[in-house]
Structure 1
Amino acid sequence: MDFPLYHLDFLGNRLLIAIVAITHVVITHALAVGGMLIIACMERKGLYDPEWDRFAKKTLFSFFLITTTVGAMTGVGIWFSASLVNPTSIASLIRVFFWAWFTEWICFVTEVILILYYYLTWDKWVNDRKRGHVRLGFNLALTSWLTMAIIVAILAFMMDPGNWLTDKSFLSGFVNPIYLPQLAFRTPLAMVMAGGSTFLVLAFTQVSDDFRKKATKFISKWILAWLPFLGLGSYWYLQAIPDSMRANFNVALTTQEFTSWYKGVLYTIVIAILFVLLLTLKGIKTGRLSKAVMVTPFIIFIIFMGQFERSREFIRKPYVIGNYLYANGFRKDDYPLLQRDGILKHAPYVSIREITEQNKLAAGREVFNLTCTRCHTVNGVNSVVTKLSHMYGSNPWNVETITNYLAVMHQTRIFMPPFPGNEKERQALAKYLISLQYSQEPFEGVQVIGISTEEDKKETR
């Protein structure tokens, strides 16, 4: 491990990233990528109906405000949290995709400039210039999509690097086997989410009953038009997923946690389609029922996106970069060296190099920090204590049993990386894990680097 490790024991490192990343993805997909296109289409309708123009501007203001504040902050937050939690993965991706990220940054800056210009000139470009303003909106939509298209290549690379594993070229990394299928899935998904977000704006905007009926039909048709493409993209994406990830997906479907989520998403999608059909065929008069119906698709699409991202992260395990970097931050090619010498010998930010009987417990804590805390907490979310309690019950845990389990855990739980260290480190880790059965001491992670034995602690007082 080349970097010091941050650990948030109550919330968990992976949940920290999930909260930031899913918030960012929902905003960028719904309000930027899909949102700018539906706004440009509504502004085009406004060339012939001023009420469409007013509603399009109000929608743009809502989307503009959120994307340039929460969207931008969570975008930076992804970099910050990922650099803390798994710095090796970010460093590896930067080495491969430096120029792609540089280009994406240029697209993002262009997107911000265009959205500011687009909003500020809305009421100034009138009459003959109004068509030029509509074209500006479509250019903004294209720039937003290009930003996503570049990032999707990196997300797909993390699932399946393809030929990059052998030739290490930027082009093979960018045009990886899952890139186009995932882009074909995310593009219509963004458009569908944009429709749900526009419904949300319409629900809380004062407009005439006649316009509300027209807008409801337009947004409903927009969603229905993109749904077939979303289905085709989903199928293509599913077929492109490697067999190992399909196995993880099957594992997920056997757990009550994931099964209940999938059923919930399926039921809500069916309900959403029925609501959209109802709105398309009948229209709904203004009132509380109308607002509830319009808000429903937005909520459903957020749930769907959250579960999709959660499932994508799960099936990618045990890797954070497919067949290259494990989720624990250790490179696959480094395993033979680490399993021979041990990880403590090669980790720069540890205080113990050689394990003895006197320091075995403290060494086990160091090993736990290096190998387990990317995914697990001690007593928080995805707690290792809870996992072991389910496996071994409340009776005293056995060192030999846990040591043996650590050697084969990746075979019984295929989404977990193999243990990267040697035999002594497995025994030390097992001893530390057993100490947690009755310990209430919080795990502070990076804050206690350099303090590993009682003698060390006394010296720091």
Structure 2
Amino acid sequence: MYPTFYIPGIGTAWMMGIIGVVHVVASHTSVGASFLFALLETRAFRQNKPELLAFIKRYGAFLLVFSYIIGSITGPGIWYAITVASPRGVSGLIHNFVWVWASEWVYFTVEVIGVYALVYLIDKVDARTHLMLTWTFAMASWATMLLIVGILSFMMWPGNAIWYETGRAADAFFSPNFFAQLGVRTGGMLVMAAIVGLVLASRVRDRAQRREIIRLVAPVGLSGGAIAVLMFFAYLHTLPQNAIVMLNTHLLPVYGREMLAVFIVTASWLMFCWVFPQRVYTSLAVPLFVLIAVAGVWPEERMRESMRKPFVAGQYIYGNQVIARNVPGRGIHDEVDRIAAHGLLALHPFIPDRLRVIDDANRLEAGRLLTRLACANCHSLEPGGPLRSLPDKLHRATDEDLIAAFLRGPLGHGTQPYMPRIDLPDAEVRAIAHYLAAVDAGKDVDRLIDQHHKNGR
């Protein structure tokens, strides 16, 4: 357990989500582009079409800036964000998959070296050697995705109950969710690569070359989209029960129509480009890329992150960092009952001494800290906040007894399938209720606490 990192107004998870969406767009484009390069260069090699190599070089140079520089910045950004927001979740992933991470970094190194070599060795080595280099780059790129997807699928659930007994990485890595999610992302990466490729193809001046390139790129995107859709339906059948409840109750009503609209726009655009390649203009291709990248990736990533609630990894670590079940294979023990008996303030190592025992003088400050520890990883704590605002979820209730009853009832007994079981002693329940009632009443809680400290000194 580490001190809770909270970003006022938006909540910590939104920061992770914003960085993550940018990274996914960049990384998926790079992986998809690697296979697009391999397919185009294979055609260029077999049919002696050097103009395709010129397009690959242009696309590769764009990739170096867009995907590898932006991706290399946002990648560590994700690590920083998730480490401060979910330290136990990150620790669980590292300890379970340390050699998988190490392998992914090796493949990523090959990928980065490969893209530079691919771009700068065109026309400097023989065609067969360069083609082998391009396919090596493609396979290394896809290997990084394969390994990361195995870890991401474990974040949803191990998929194999024996992992809790053995703790073996293989029992956690290969699950039905892994194969389905890999299919979705493989199809999606081809779509993203095609959408970016159409932007660059629209800049080719020679009309005959532009027509040929677009006619090659658009079907790759359509094929990838078909794979992604089919595997998405398979993916839905690999979800745990809590994810299905979350999906049907909260996510599809919000994002379902948007995702359908993005699918229709994307398919229509790719089909239009295939049929009318001479009408693909940069002024149209760029806005559609931005629309598809943002409106397509954001809801997909938001849904995937939200579906695993109340857990952050392996269905044994809650989003609020509390261990939710025993994992004998890893020597991990359930903490929920201990917290219920002794209190979060007594067991958490990073609690100021003045807040270990709640009294009338510190109840508001203790309530703020407890709410951040127990709730802030999934909720914003300000009215109107974009990340599942907790005051809004409570309908701005100012009745402390009503809020406390909810905490003791559904949350204390763990009857909400997408919420962690938060079973706390009565004094801590009342402190949280006191804080939330003050926030719901529109009080400037932070100012009140600061003023109390000043008066105390």
Q: Is TM more than 0.5 here?
A: yes
Cα drift, residue 440 of structure 1 = 4.8
Counterparts of 1:277-426 in structure 2, within 5 Å, are: 277-285=271-279, 287=281, 291-292=283-284, 296=288, 299-332=291-324, 333-351=334-352, 352-379=355-382, 380-382=385-387, 383-388=389-394, 390=395, 392=397, 397-410=398-411, 414-426=417-429
Alignment of 1:148 onto 2:145: yes
Q: How many residues align?
A: 437
- 1:201–1:298: structure 2 CA closer, same or farther, 3 Å change rule? farther
Counterpart contact for 2:341–2:425, Cα < 8 Å: yes
- Separation in 1 of the partners of 2:446 and 2:418? 24
Distance 1:442 1:400 in 2: 19
Residue in 2 that maps onto 1:447: none
Query: Bigger shift: 5-14 or 277-286?
Result: 277-286
Q: Aligned-pair distance for 1:284?
A: 2.9
After superposition, the CA RMSD in angstroms is: 2.4
Corresponding letter in the other structure for 1:399: E
Encode CA deviations 1:210-255: one digit per residue, 9 max, x unaligned: 1111112111111223333223311221111122211111102574
**Structure 1 residues 115 and 423: CA distance shift in structure 2, 3 A:** same
User: 1:29-428 to 2 correspondence within 5 Å?
Assistant: 29-30=28-29, 32-47=30-45, 48-125=48-125, 129-161=126-158, 162=160, 163-203=162-202, 205-253=203-251, 255=253, 258=254, 261-285=255-279, 287=281, 291-292=283-284, 296=288, 299-332=291-324, 333-351=334-352, 352-379=355-382, 380-382=385-387, 383-388=389-394, 390=395, 392=397, 397-410=398-411, 414-428=417-431
CA gap 1:285/1:250 in 2 versus in 1, 3 angstroms: closer
Provide the secondary structure at the position in 1 that maps to 2:371: helix
Which residue identity does 1:345 align to in structure 2? Answer: A
| TM-superposed deviation, 1:453 | 9.6
Partner of 1:17: 16
- Is the Cα–Cα contact under 8 Å of residues 165 and 324 in structure 1 kept in the other structure? no
Q: Could you say what secondary structure the match of 2:357 adopts?
A: coil
> Do the aligned partners of 1:318 and 1:326 also contact (CA within 8 Å) in 2?
yes
Contact 2:339 2:424 (C-alpha < 8 Å) held by counterparts: yes
Q: What is the deviation of 1:270?
A: 1.7
Cα distance per residue 1:425-453 (max 9 Å; x no partner)? 11111011112234553759xxxxxx999
Query: Which deviates more from structure 2 when the two are superposed, residues 222-231 or residues 194-203?
Result: 222-231
Partner residue, 1:448: none
Match of 2:433 in 1: 430
Amino acid at match of 1:381: P
The worse-fitting range, judged by mean Cα deviation, of 402-411 and 182-191 is: 402-411
432 and 65 in structure 1: CA distance in 2 versus 1, 3 angstrom threshold: same
8 Å CA contact 2:371, 2:432 repeated in 1: yes
For the residues of structure 1 that align with 2:428 and 2:451, how far apart are their CA atoms? 16
The alignment partner of 2:418 has SS state of coil
- Gaps of at least 5 residues in structure 2 are 325-333
- State the partner residue of 2:329: none
| Residues 51-98 of structure 1: CA deviation (Å, up to 9, x unaligned) | 211111100110122222110111111100001111111111111111
CA 1:295/1:130 → structure 2, altered by over 3 Å: closer, same or farther? Answer: farther
Question: In the superposition, relative to structure 1, how do residues 145 and 41 fare at CA in structure 2: closer, same or farther (>3 Å)?
Answer: same
**How many angstroms apart in 1 are the aligned matches of 2:285 and 2:20?**
28
What's the CA shift for 1:300? 2.1
Q: Which moved more, 1:164-173 or 1:72-81?
A: 164-173
Paired AA for residue 41 in structure 2:
E
SS in 2 for 1:320: strand
Considering Cα pairs closer than 8 Å and 6+ residues apart, tell me whether 1 or 2 has the greater RCO: 1
Give, in whole Å, the separation in 1 of the partners of 2:450 and 2:171: 44
Work out whether residues 198 and 285 of structure 2, in 8 Å CA contact, stay in contact via their aligned partners in 1.
no
Q: Report the CA distance between 1:158 and its aligned residue.
A: 0.7
Q: In the aligned structure 2, how far is the partner of 1:296 from the partner of 1:453? A: 51
Superposed displacement of residue 26, structure 1: 1.2
- Once the two structures are overlaid, the 10-residue window that deviates more, 207-216 or 52-61, is 207-216
1:422–1:141 CA distance, 2 compared to 1 (3 A):
same
Instruction: Mark the CA change 1:207 to 1:420 in structure 2 (over 3 Å): closer, same or farther.
Output: farther
Q: Following TM superposition, by how much is the alpha carbon of 1:297 offset from its aligned partner in structure 2, in angstroms?
A: 5.5
Give the C-alpha shift of residue 29 in structure 1. Answer: 0.8
Distance 2:265 2:121 in 1: 39
Gapped regions of structure 1 (runs ≥ 5): 445-450
Q: CA deviation at 1:7?
A: 1.1
Quick one: which amino acid aligns to residue 339 of structure 1? A
Asked whether the equivalents of residues 20 and 74 of structure 2 are also in contact (C-alpha less than 8 Å), the reply is yes
Q: Percent of aligned pairs with the same residue?
A: 27
2:204 alignment partner, SS class: coil
Q: Distance in 2 between matches of 1:50 and 1:170?
A: 46
Once residues 180 and 387 of structure 1 are traced to their aligned partners in structure 2, the CA distance between those partners, rounded to angstroms, is 36
